[in-house]
Amino acid sequence: MVYEDVEILLVEDNPHDVELTLRALKKHHLANKVHVVKDGEEALNFIFASGPFAGESLNSLKVILLDLKLPKVSGLEVLQKIKEDQKTRAIPVVCLTSSSEEQDVEACYKLGANSFVVKPVEFDAFAKTVADLGFYWLLVNKPV
């Protein structure tokens, strides 16, 4: 797999959510440049081109959709690493979570997340949110 075209990184451990997310993105023709990782460790490897991804060039990454509840390394830790690193801090990060627990919201913004989205249970709303996110970050919001 070639990663240099990847524009959206989806960090999500729940395969069904992944599928639904991808379906929503696909509906809006955004799915072909998406890469999915299943946990925080893999996400970090991917973002920082380490481990299995050593030597890969990831300059094309436009947005990271980051689930907060992840195995191994939590979403908040991943977010912290991204925002701490000079090379990656400019990449927009959208936090995804199942609940609107306030400590999560606050923690995300404190760590420098660019947006925070509660994953709606309702499929239509979920699909719409995912699509909106894709559009917004890929097309509207020009990276600094």
Among positions 124, 140, 142, 144, the unique one binding another protein when judged by CB under 8 A: 124
Question: Is residue 109 part of the contact set for another protein (CB under 8 A)?
Answer: no
What whole-number distance in Å separates Cα of residue 63 and Cα of residue 9? 6
Name which of 97 and 114 has its Cβ closer to another protein.
97
Residues 9/65, Cβ–Cβ less than 8 Å: yes
What minimum distance in Å lies between the beta carbon of 99 and another protein? 3
Sheet holding 115-118, edge to edge: 34-37, 8-11, 63-67, 93-97, 115-118
Among positions 32, 50, 60, 99, the unique one binding another protein when judged by CB under 8 A: 99
Question: Is residue 129 part of the contact set for another protein (CB under 8 A)?
Answer: no
Q: What stretches of the chain show up as alpha helix (H) in DSSP? A: 15-27, 40-47, 75-84, 102-110, 123-135
Rounded-to-10 torsion of CA 134, 55, 86, 119: 30
User: For the window 30-59, what string marks contact with another protein as x by the rule CB under 8 A?
Assistant: ------------------------------
Q: Which residues bind another protein (CB under 8 A)?
A: 14, 16-17, 20, 23, 69, 97-102, 119-124, 126
